[in-house]
Structure 1
């Protein structure tokens, strides 16, 4: 029986009866506010293979350091309250969520040191000019009250930050420096989509290979920046299967194919990493000398 979504009012969970590992998930900008909705196909598939899902929602903001800190605090609290602290933990994230996942591993050294691996989908480390050019322009030209109302609708907070046109915190340059010097997670899976021209995977791959040679896998898959999004609503044909039903089913399956292939790659990587954890050490403890 597949687990069903639970929430404590802040975090969303999918908890198998006998979980094999924990996957901490952070979604992309704006859609990360409701991971149980926008990413349910991916997360439910992972839960069916025995992964306990902790999905931390967030409202998009320019203070990425604070978002990462909140994500870490949510993870630590959830692991304790759900009695999952004994299980290996993997990170999984999409777009901006990848940056937050990386920053979260830097924010709390104990979390970063204990992380078995991170899966980063369409990683984005864009600056404000690249990420939100239209929103930035609107804040500079529209009346303040109109923009406040728009911000409240999009972001869920009462007012927009006055320094929106400055830069994200940390900036792309500072984030790159932190990755180069401090990123603690050795095992990483980077998934790049062939029709995605806004990710920053190539540079991240080079950074991780320099920091941990031989521990980063980079895969190119069909799809675009939105491929990780997916809904678990199966196609339901009419009482009499008609040509229209057949066309609808074909379109539905075509749209889901890249998403499903991505899920299979993620599952295979997780299975391989879990298998490594079960292998006995090649070093005899009695031979270790101080």
Structure 2
């Protein structure tokens, strides 16, 4: 199902009603077709072309945003040239998880993007010393910080972010999430266009996979724990998928 096109991982369903540009977290985003496989494949089954752009994290987040934006645009242009999609007739959405949210916010602030909306899942905007523990060891010798810094990121979004329709999703058990302040900012900037949802789960819910636990002939306590974990992970992930599809297409039924 997955195709590698210009460094992006792409899913193309037979029935196409929209395009999604997906950006994952700081480290799991290097192979989004594997780490977010279940989420992205289920969303694609609803009729969305998924273009998942991998990236390697550095301190220069503006450069990463430029790179993933150009990579997405190149792949989108190729799909249009080959007749796979018609860009003018399909809405384009951004979906980001964790650091992927920051990248979509930067893209929407720096470039004239065509977006019907963005879905921002578990947004965080930590300083380098909080996100990368090793930075603290070098703080006495050199000052290292992400570019833009957390403060500059918020200022940029407040002044320049141009994607009006946004869904912000946070989870009940996620101490890395910083969505609340961003929600207030976007609701003030675009009244009535920013929607917040709190779902059961954790920061790792979007990368949940189908746990293929084989029960042995004799059912043991370990089997019971594994089955319970599978049900919990799949339930939270299924709820996330439903909320994403409902927001993308409010008339969809489940």
TM-score, length of structure 2 as denominator length:
0.89
Aligned-partner Cα distance in 2 for 1:81–1:130: 39
Tell me if 1:211 matches 2:189.
Answer: yes
Number of equivalences: 245
- Provide structure 2 residue ranges, at least 5 long, that are not aligned to the other structure: none
Q: What is the aligned counterpart of 1:95 among 83, 91, 98?
A: 98
Aligned-partner Cα distance in 2 for 1:183–1:107: 8
Task: State which structure, 1 or 2, has the greater radius of gyration over its C-alpha atoms.
Answer: 1
Q: What is the aligned counterpart of 1:178 among 156, 177, 184?
A: 156
Report the secondary structure of 2:38's partner residue: helix
Aligned-partner Cα distance in 1 for 2:18–2:213: 31
State the match for 2:131 in structure 1.
131
Shift of 1:200: 1.4
Tell me if 1:271 matches 2:222.
Answer: no
Aligned-partner Cα distance in 2 for 1:126–1:98: 12
Tell me if 1:261 matches 2:243.
Answer: no
State the match for 1:72 in structure 2.
69
Aligned-partner Cα distance in 2 for 1:18–1:63: 38
State the match for 2:173 in structure 1.
195
After TM superposition, list the pairs within 5 Å mapping 1:101-180 onto structure 2.
101-109=104-112, 111=113, 114-132=114-132, 134-137=133-136, 165-180=143-158
Q: Do 1:40 and 1:232's aligned partners in 2 also have CA atoms closer than 8 Å?
A: no
Name the CA shift for 1:9/1:231 in 2 (closer, same or farther; >3 Å). Answer: farther
Tell me if 1:252 matches 2:251.
Answer: no
Aligned-partner Cα distance in 1 for 2:170–2:238: 15
RMSD: 2.2
Shift of 1:120: 0.3
State the match for 1:21 in structure 2.
18
Aligned-partner Cα distance in 1 for 2:32–2:6: 13
Shift of 1:232: 4.0
Aligned-partner Cα distance in 2 for 1:138–1:121: 30
- Provide structure 1 residue ranges, at least 5 long, that are not aligned to the other structure: 142-161, 275-290
Aligned-partner Cα distance in 2 for 1:174–1:213: 23
Aligned-partner Cα distance in 1 for 2:75–2:251: 23
Indicate the larger mover: 179-188 or 5-14.
5-14
Report the secondary structure of 2:3's partner residue: strand
TM-score, length of structure 1 as denominator length:
0.79
Indicate the larger mover: 223-232 or 64-73.
223-232
Report the secondary structure of 1:100's partner residue: helix
Shift of 1:74: 1.1
After TM superposition, list the pairs within 5 Å mapping 1:223-242 onto structure 2.
223-232=201-210, 234-237=212-215, 242=218
Higher strand share: 2
Q: Do 2:208 and 2:233's aligned partners in 1 also have CA atoms closer than 8 Å?
A: no
Shift of 1:89: 0.4
Q: Do 2:5 and 2:75's aligned partners in 1 also have CA atoms closer than 8 Å?
A: no
